Amino acid sequence: MEKQILVADEVAEMLRVDRQRVYELARRNAIPVIRVGERQYRFDAEAIRQWIERGGNVEKKEGREEDK
């Protein structure tokens, strides 16, 4: 079976969030992400589904002012 690869818009629809939030989570490695280039992200659909099933937890990184 071939992997289904998603773009940020598709992940945003799955999570019911804005596309920019998906990019933010990807930059923080808070969601399963495939880096295609320096600023290009793709997402394995099955990895995203499993992440959601596990609760979709986003760990905050220490030291970031916006996370305090």
Spell out the per-residue pLDDT of the chain, length 68, in tens: 678 999 999 999 999 999 999 999 999 999 999 999 888 999 999 999 999 999 987 765 444 444 43
> Fold for domain 5-57?
Multidrug-efflux Transporter Regulator; Chain: A; Domain 2 (1.10.1660)
Sheet holding 34-35, edge to edge: 5-6, 41-44, 34-35
CA 40: distance to chain centroid? Answer: 12
- pTM, two decimals, is 0.77
Domain boundaries, the chain: 5-57
Backbone angles phi, psi at 6, to 5 degrees: -110, 155
For residue 26, the tally of other CB atoms under 10 A from its CB is 19
